[in-house]
A and B are shown apart, each in its own frame.
Chain A
């Protein structure tokens, strides 16, 4: 059996990659993929911890996956809409408001 702490470390690494991705990358789709990575790192944590406790953590993961799917639908729709308008999904290029 792999100790739970290994999973915790892995999930912390994934979460950090996701967070850095959101902060550093400029492509809206890549940013969005980084957010998904953050959600999935939390999922990993839930499943790992649920081995210590009860099934609640695993059930939570189902809900998170569903919510993530809903977010994908809304997010991709917006990204496509912006792309049609601006011919770009670079977050710096679509930023027009300042102040």
Chain B
């Protein structure tokens, strides 16, 4: 029942309080000596190169979309793998058909040059 969720509610309350408190107290008590170097975007200790909000090359996006398309199909593979023995040869053939359809798309994307970086 709902009573079981009390620990979670308490945890949420505590963590919210902590997060707010750290920020607020740090703001109130901490010393503030701003310098240009401190205001610069943090790039793992390196000298920052260029502005922080650069536009991404569109190629990343192409890869990302292809990734979504082929990645999501795994949700059909998992239930199939769990029930592999029950489904038997028929399930194997079904999955084979499914993969072939995916392969058609993959080959098309490949031949169209969607996987080339340059």
Name A's B-contacting residues (CB within 8 A).
Answer: 1-2, 62, 65-66, 69-70, 72-73, 76-77, 80, 84
Bound CA–CA A2/B4 (angstroms): 10
Q: Are B2 and A73 in contact (CB under 8 A)?
A: no
Q: Is B117 an interface residue (CB 8 A)?
A: no
Write out the residue numbers on chain A whose beta carbons fall within 8 Å of the beta carbon of B2.
Answer: 2
User: B interface, how many residues as a size bin?
Assistant: 10 to 19
CA distance A66 to B72 in the complex (A): 6
Instruction: State A9–B72 Cα separation when bound (angstroms).
Output: 28
User: Besides A76-B61, A84-B58, 17 other CB < 8 A contacts?
Assistant: A1-B1, A2-B2, A62-B75, A62-B79, A65-B75, A66-B72, A66-B73, A66-B75, A69-B68, A69-B69, A69-B71, A72-B68, A73-B65, A73-B68, A76-B65, A77-B65, A80-B58
Q: Please determine whether A80 and B61 come into contact, CB atoms closer than 8 angstroms.
A: yes
Q: How far is the CA of A77 from the CA of B72 in the complex (A)?
A: 18
B61 and A65 form a contact (CB under 8 A)? no
Scan B14-37; emit 1 where CB is below 8 A from any A CB, else 0: 000000000000000000000000
